[in-house]
Structure 1
Amino acid sequence: MMVFSEPAIEQFSSFINCRPTTLFPQIPIVDLSKPESKHLIIKACEEFGFFKVINHGVPVEFISKLESEAARFFSLPLPEKEKAGPPKPFGYGNKSIGQSGDVGWVEYLLLKTNQESDSQTFGSALNDYMSAVKKMACEVLEIMADGLKVQPRNVLSKLLMDEQSDSVFRLNHYPPCPQVQPLNGSDVIGFGEHTDPQIISVLRSNNTSGLQISLRDGSWVSVPPDQNSFFINVGDSLQVMTNGRFKSVKHRVLTNSSKSRLSMIYFCGPPLSEKIAPLPSLMRGEESLYKEFTWFEYKKSAFNSKLADNRLMHFQRIEAL
């Protein structure tokens, strides 16, 4: 487990004054084995941009094996972890998030989905896990296409299956934070508020709380942890592809004073050259709210922005503002 040195703790100042937040037991639950899943997914994407999936088909042993390997990696001394290389963009990083000055009480490992690990055991665990999660993500996207009544059924999933798919995988570790002794209503940010730029994100974490999502009224609610299920986030790209019918969900992570949190996120990205625009079959005479752009253009813009920025603002049509 990583422990920041005393000077690092003193320099860390990413606090927020939290308004009261509550657990949100009404998070939509989608059973992928049930025929009504397509209607539940559409409703969840329209109302929250977020839902939980059960009966997901990812073997428990794949999940537990990767979690064990990740915990082993993050327990290494800092010089050993830094051998994974600086996150430019792939590699090991801590505290600093991205290139625009954002910080969090977090250390992480960012990997390509086809990246080989120096550790044969870690690499095997990664490959097994990512293969199963990719299959589940494609199933979710195909059920989503059914619910949207768009053809072909693989219109979204084929972007993940493409050999040039720009999907990435992230392991986030949030060590216990000694500063979380609620003082004047303040909390320490583990990962600041943001939306994900990809199509969808597939999240799994251990049984430690910390994840919060923002509802449509701007209020924040805490997501009860569930280490046996997966959570799906609508990303900015899917918001564009549905012409705003689905909204990418703003989310953040707060730290815990006594327990570490480990999360694994599979970011489902299209090929870099893929043009991101509303699906024609969803338009029905409507005007597009967004200018057409490639995933490379959007990714570059997102990479150069702050976490909390509204990245889609630069790609909206003037008349839509």
Structure 2
Amino acid sequence: MVVLTKPALGKPSSYFCGIPVINLREPGSAAPLVRACEELGFFKVTNHGIPMELISKLEAAAMEFFALPQTDKDRSGPANPFGYGSRCLGGNGDVGWVEYLLMEITSDPAALTFLAQSSANSFRCALKEYVLAVRKLAGEVLEMMAEGLKIEPRDALSRLVMDEESDSMLRVNHYPQCPMLQGLNNQAVTGFGEHTDPQIISVLRSNNTSGLEISLRDGSWVSVLPDRESFFVNVGDSLQVLTNGRFRSVRHRVLANGLQSRVSMIYFGGPPHGERLAPLSLLLGEGEESRYREFTWCEYKTCVYSNMLAHNRLEHFQK
């Protein structure tokens, strides 16, 4: 079933202007980065060091893949959970106006399970190079967070996603044009339903097409102005736990207007399967109690896969 909706903010003039912008090469950026994690759980990074040429190459290769006949794309799936998928966003009934590739990143960050199944050499090469670059960016952002939180060592957070056993993924989403919306004004379909990301950090970018929305603390939804030259960063559930709720795992969704296709690429930086997650003692103030019981990343993933997208998975782990 395709769900039609009227976007709360459907016009470019209604884009939310409060997205923090963090210049990674500007001295003193750690403090505003921490504020962004506390207030929104979402921010944009510039001067990230990833060449636009690489980004454009991967985007073009992805569009070539999604333009293939359906029978060719189906050979790369079904996503269970990795590979090619369409409409179905898991095993619990969530659907969206989207097709996607979900790829596991193993201890060799250049090795993706999907690559062995793909015949597109240009896509394979672009994916390998991109994963190495965006993984490095995620580590740099997490080190800046540690600096802003004044915790040592500097890799207290980044080591979790840089570890050779880290459970990380890359997702490439394609929101195609929707014929049923032709001639309808200010209408959209649910591209990807509202949810939070379970991992530590998500680093995403998209082409120059709108659709991404985030939820503010008051529960209202606001549209994010696309910027294909920058990266957006989400605080994930695991990072919310590690900071004892100081950082906010941002709830977000994608509304597809159906008139323009949208492509997004998201790197999910997760900890090793056996990593035990609990608030860092260095971040607990005097007399402050942990808001979450200790659990492993594997336990949390099991919980995530057994719930629907919109569910609050963390409530099962609160004290």
1:220 Cα deviation after fit: 0.6
Q: Does residue 290 of the first structure (1) align with residue 279 of the second (2)?
A: no
What do residues 146-200 of structure 1 show as CA deviations (whole Å, max 9, x unaligned)? 0001111001111111111000000000001233369697531000000000001
CA contact (8 A) 2:214 2:250 kept: yes
In 2, Cα distance between the equivalents of 1:253 and 1:109? 16
Deviations 1:266-315 (A, max 9, x none): 00000000011101100123110001110000011101110100010100
Q: Is contact 1:272–1:295 with CA below 8 Å preserved after alignment?
A: yes
* Aligned-partner residue type, residue 142 of structure 1: E
Give the secondary-structure state (helix, strand or coil) at the position aligned to 2:311: coil
Change (3 A) 1:145 1:83: same
Contact between 2:168 and 2:271, CA under 8 Å: does it hold in 1? yes
Rounded Cα–Cα distance in structure 2 between residues aligned with 1:15 and 1:172: 19
Q: Distance in 2 between matches of 1:180 and 1:214?
A: 25
> Any conservation in 1 of the 2:189–2:258 contact (CA below 8 Å)?
no
In structure 1, give the amino acid aligned to 2:112. Answer: Q
Letter in 1 for 2:66: F
Partner residue in 1 for 2:251: 250
Tell me the equivalent position of 1:14.
3
1:36 aligned residue: 28
Distance 1:142 1:122 in 2: 30
SS of the counterpart of 1:179?
helix
Structure 1: unaligned runs, 5 residues or longer? 1-11
Alpha-carbon distance in structure 2 between the residues aligned to 1:191 and 1:315: 25
Which consecutive unaligned segments of at least 5 residues does structure 2 have? 106-110
Q: CA, structure 1 residues 215+181, in 2 after alignment: closer, same or farther (shift >3 Å)?
A: farther
- The equivalent of 2:302 in structure 1 is 300
Q: Work out the CA distance in 1 between the residues paired with 2:4 and 2:247.
A: 30
| Equivalent residue number for residue 168 of structure 2 | 167
Partner of 1:110: 102
Structure 1 residue 18 displacement after superposition = 4.2
Amino acid at match of 2:42: F
Q: Which residue matches 1:97?
A: 89
Q: Which residue is equivalent to 2:132?
A: 131
Q: Call closer, same or farther: CA 1:241–1:87 in 2, change over 3 Å.
A: same
SS in 2 for 1:110: strand
Deviation at 1:258, TM superposition (A): 1.7
The DSSP-based 3-state class of the residue aligned with 1:124 is helix
* Structure 1 CA distance for aligned equivalents of residues 258 and 166 of structure 2: 38
1:65 aligns with 2:47: no
The equivalent of 1:190 in structure 2 is: 191
What is the match of residue 154 of structure 1? Answer: 155
* Cα pair 2:205 2:228 within 8 Å, conserved: yes
Which letter maps to 1:14? Answer: V
The answer as to whether partners of 1:180 and 1:255 remain within 8 angstroms in 2 is no
Which of 18, 40, 54 is the matching residue for 1:48? Answer: 40
Amino acid of the residue matched to residue 296 of structure 2?
T
Counterpart residue number, 2:108: none
Q: Give the 3-state SS of the residue equivalent to 2:81 in structure 1.
A: coil
> One-letter code of the match for 1:115?
L
- The separation in 2 between residues aligned to 1:179 and 1:38, in whole angstroms, is 46
Separation in structure 2 between the aligned mates of residue 99 and residue 149 of structure 1, nearest angstrom: 41
Q: Distance in 2 between matches of 1:148 and 1:180?
A: 46
Q: Distance in 2 between matches of 1:183 and 1:256?
A: 10
CA distance in 1, matches of 2:255, 2:224: 11
Corresponding position of 1:259: 260
Q: Report the 3-state secondary structure (helix = DSSP H, G, I; strand = E; otherwise coil) of the residue aligned with 1:142.
A: helix
Q: TM-score, normalised by structure 2?
A: 0.92
Superposition RMSD in Å? 1.5
Whole-Å separation in 2 of the counterparts to 1:61 and 1:74: 20
Does structure 2 conserve the Cα–Cα contact (< 8 Å) formed by 1:14 and 1:103?
Answer: no
For 2:50 and 2:7, how far apart are their aligned partners in 1? 35
Question: 1:271-286 residue pairs with structure 2 within 5 A?
Answer: 271-284=272-285, 285-286=287-288
Secondary structure of the 1:147 match is helix
**Distance in 2 between the 1:236 and 1:15 partners?**
29
Aligned length: 306
